[in-house]
Amino acid sequence: MSNSIPGFGLTEIAQISIPVSDLEGATSFYREALGMRFLFSTPTMSFFDCGGIRLMLAIPEADNFSPPGSILYYRVQDIAIAHETLTRRGVEFVSEPHVVHATEEMELWMAFFRDTDQNFLALMCEKSLS
């Protein structure tokens, strides 16, 4: 590549898009059940702030833009409290909080759930053991 810039690399995610079939239902789920900060919407998209990264829920423009999405992992300080809070709001978990990795210094906990379009989402918590 003759036009490459030495040292260039992608270092910051500005926005993540999640394909949805029912924008109103998905917007309600992310706003009410997950408690995410709503930014704005258009007729085919809704936007939320997720720690400085914009999360976009969108009706796909074409079939080739609606493959299964990536899993979003939400960092939480206390996975038990987060799990209990979301469960009380009607979020149905696929798995209870559980350890997926442990070292002498920490445990990595996860709990998986789905949104209104069956996209996988997860809670993630790193518990210090020291």
Quick: pLDDT tens for 12-39.
889 999 999 999 999 999 999 999 999 9
- Whether 4 is in a domain gets the answer no
- Of 46-50, 70-74, 84-88, 124-128, the least confident: 70-74
d(CA 49, CA 44): 17
Checking if the pLDDT of 65 tops 80, the result is no
Q: What CATH number corresponds to the domain at position 35? A: 3.10.180.10
- Whether 66 is in a domain gets the answer yes
The predicted pLDDT at position 113 comes to 93
- Whether 84 is in a domain gets the answer yes
pTM of the model: 0.80
- Whether 3 is in a domain gets the answer no
The predicted pLDDT at position 78 comes to 94
- Whether 94 is in a domain gets the answer yes
- Identify the top-confidence range among 47-51, 62-66, 117-121: 47-51
Query: In this structure, how many other beta carbons lie within 10 angstroms of the beta carbon of residue 91?
Result: 19
The predicted pLDDT at position 30 comes to 97
pLDDT of 104-116, one tens digit each?
Answer: 999 999 999 999 9
Instruction: Tell me the sheet residues that pair with 120.
Output: 114
Mean pLDDT for the chain? 90
- Whether 88 is in a domain gets the answer yes
d(CA 113, CA 28): 16
Tell me the chain's radius of gyration from C-alpha atoms. Answer: 17
- Whether 7 is in a domain gets the answer no
Domain around 52 = 15-128
Report the domain count for the chain: 1
Give, in degrees to the nearest 5, the angle at Cα 127 between 56 and 14: 20
- Whether 109 is in a domain gets the answer yes
